[in-house]
Amino acid sequence: MILFLRRCINLQDYYVNNLVNLFIKRNRLTNNLQFYFHSSTFKNDENSINHDGINLKPRPYNNWTQEEVDKLIDSVKIHGKKWNFISEAFFQSKRHPKALSFKWKTLNQTRISYYNHWTADEDKIFMEGIKKYGVGKWAEISKMLINRNNVQIATRWRLISRTKRGKWQKEEDKDLLDLVKKYGKNWEFISRILNRPKPSIIIRYQNLTNDPWTPEEDRKLRNALKEYNQDWNKILKLFPNRHLSDVKGRFRNCPKTDPNVNLGRWNEKEAQDILKAYKLFGKRWKNIAEFVKTRSPSQCAKYWSKHLKKPDEHAYRIY
């Protein structure tokens, strides 16, 4: 009887200690949330300092550099997947072990169908999976499609579930701006109202709200890329009035901002290389650009549509 009572007392102490620990963790979380909302509510837009004198600058982008990627690959070859050790010894704890593990997975992730368009058979199997498992059960549906992962399947559903495509009308632009003003950037909700895919809505909103790029900004971006080599943290500081997506989008879509590509007329070697690459890769413009080496994907696509669809003796200026 005495032993039974002692066990009950020990068990009671165990549960009491657990409850105390949970209470402490809850208080810490509550305090953090109160500080966040309290500070963000009284944020001063002019100097990003709240009424308590605390600096509320946005968290800087912490993108991986090529040097860090090479360091990660070399360290894993030597020490294996000892993320805690690699974080301390090679990254001075600036990269968390979980961040290292996640980055390693993305580096080794193979996407067989990255450039492949969805076929009619795949869409048919996909819709059968939707009927069988329901919307959102992407892991189960991905087992029915060998060459598609969960992200690709979820993206495909967002595209085909919104039926409206094509050119945006002025009324739609006005509705989009009004909806964002009323509901904020709740893209999923706005997508359902306008019946357009979410990515299309985001791109359209950015095009409507971003200021046009000036020739001076293009030259500044080109010089920055030449100096910093796609170190977007440093480049973004040169464009305080633009978002990272805006700067990256300009780099992708405007070849004259890329210091590593040629402008103007295509020479004979480039024309021959794009013919060879097209036979190998089809309309996979990124692969074609890597094959040609001196032209961007958008330049390759425009050159093909102008000169290879309808062959012409003269190569005209792309940009």
CA distances (Å), 146 to each of 112, 152, 312, in order? 10, 12, 42
Average pLDDT rounded to a whole number, residues 290-311: 84
Report the alpha-carbon distance of residue 304 to residue 103 in Å, rounded.
Answer: 36
| Closest by Cα among 151, 154, 163, 152 to 192 | 163
Residue 53's pLDDT is 45
Report the alpha-carbon distance of residue 164 to residue 33 in Å, rounded.
Answer: 40
Question: Do the domains spanning 120-160 and 261-319 agree at the CATH topology level?
Answer: yes
- Ordered DSSP codes for the chain: -HHHHHHHHHHHHHHHHHHHHHHHHHHHHHHHHHHHHHHHHT--TTTSB-TT--B-PPPPP-PPPHHHHHHHHHHHHHH-S-HHHHHHHHHTTSS-HHHHHHHHHHHT---TTSSPPPPHHHHHHHHHHHHHH-TT-HHHHHTT-TT--HHHHHHHHHHHT----SPPPHHHHHHHHHHHHHH-S-HHHHHHHHTS-HHHHHHHHHHHHSPPPPHHHHHHHHHHHHHHSS-HHHHHHT-TTS-HHHHHHHHHH-GGG-TTS--SS--HHHHHHHHHHHHHHTT-HHHHHHHHSSS-HHHHHHHIIIIISS--SSPPP--
Residue 276's pLDDT is 92
- Report helix angle 215-228 to 244-253, nearest 10: 90
Kindly tell me if the per-residue pLDDT of 124 is higher than 70. yes
Domain residue limits, the chain: 1-56, 67-107, 120-160, 170-209, 215-257, 261-319
What dotted CATH number matches 261-319?
1.10.10.60
Average pLDDT rounded to a whole number, residues 100-123: 73
Percentage of the chain lying above the pLDDT 70 cut: 74
Average pLDDT rounded to a whole number, residues 40-60: 42
pTM: 0.43
Report the alpha-carbon distance of residue 141 to residue 153 in Å, rounded.
Answer: 8
Domain 120-160: CATH superfamily is: Homeodomain-like (1.10.10.60)
Kindly tell me if the per-residue pLDDT of 313 is higher than 50. no
For 5, the token pair is 């009572």
Residue 46's pLDDT is 42
Give residues with Cβ within 8 angstroms of 239, minimum separation 6.
217, 220, 221, 246, 247
| pLDDT single digits (tens) 248-290 | 888 888 888 888 888 888 999 999 999 999 999 888 888 998 8
Residue 40's pLDDT is 40
CA distances (Å), 314 to each of 9, 188, 273, 276, 317, in order? 92, 47, 17, 19, 10
Q: What is the mean pLDDT of the chain?
A: 77
| pLDDT single digits (tens) 191-242 | 888 888 888 888 888 888 878 889 999 999 999 998 988 888 899 899 988 8
pLDDT band (50, 70, 90) for residue 13: low
CA 232, distance to chain mean position in Å, is 14
